A and B are shown apart, each in its own frame.
Chain A
Amino acid sequence: DIVMTQTPLSSPVTLGQPASISCRSSQSLVHRDGNTYLSWLQQRPGQPPRLLIYKISNRFSGVPDRFSGSGAGTDFTLKISRVEADDVGVYYCMQATQSPPTFGRGTRVEIK
């Protein structure tokens, strides 16, 4: 199975400041069809996971444009341009390029 490693484990951020989360996969996530099936999920306290970004950089419906994704191959990044109070929670990267789909252990974003 592909192992997804996220850093940092926790990210204390000042409101209005940017945040960045890294995700590294144990194998390339480029599918034979040329796409890279790397997603980012947000889980607010007490809530289920919610899809933010799919295929590295595509924002899902209703996701604010302060969230952006980038990367290629095995290294990926989620950036929040200006953190708001509503962004507190745990963020997960997830790959679906190879079965079974696997998840990172999560990065907790909290307000300083």
Chain B
Amino acid sequence: EAQLVQSGGGLVQPGGSLRLSCVASGLSFSNYWMTWVRQSPGKGLEWVANIKEDGSEKSFVDSVKGRFTISRDNAKKSLYLQMNSLRAEDTAVYYCARYHCSGGVCSTFDYWGQGTLVTVSS
């Protein structure tokens, strides 16, 4: 069965850090871009970050630039999101997803992880 299994997340104080992980099984990983998307009641679904197949290109939504980093380990079929200087507005369910890209054009998110809740509160 193709799946992305997430771990990490939880409750953290403002200014704190968390690391999210996402492991792929039953689906190709190293040949695909990967992405993080978050979902909060106030903002709905919001794209957060992308990383190219080989990790050479990364992009972020403006609100997390300089605070979040995205990385991957293709040998472990794993994706990571390091979140620093967390703010209350980062509170959301975070999903990893596989980004279907071909020839430099990306079309859709075809497989999604189960999601992990990040709560930033004192």
Residues of A within 8 A of B (CB): 31, 33, 35, 37, 39, 41, 48-51, 54-55, 60, 92, 94, 96, 99-106
Contact = CB atoms under 8 A, between A and B. Distances in A.
Nearest to B6: A48
The number of chain B residues touching the other chain, given as a range, is: 20 to 34
A107 to B, nearest CB: 12
B45 interface: yes
Contacts, number: 62
B113 A49 contact: no
Interface of B: 35, 37, 44-47, 59, 61, 95, 100, 105-115
14 contacts: A35-B105, A48-B95, A48-B114, A49-B37, A49-B45, A49-B112, A54-B100, A54-B108, A92-B44, A94-B45, A96-B109, A99-B106, A101-B109, A103-B46
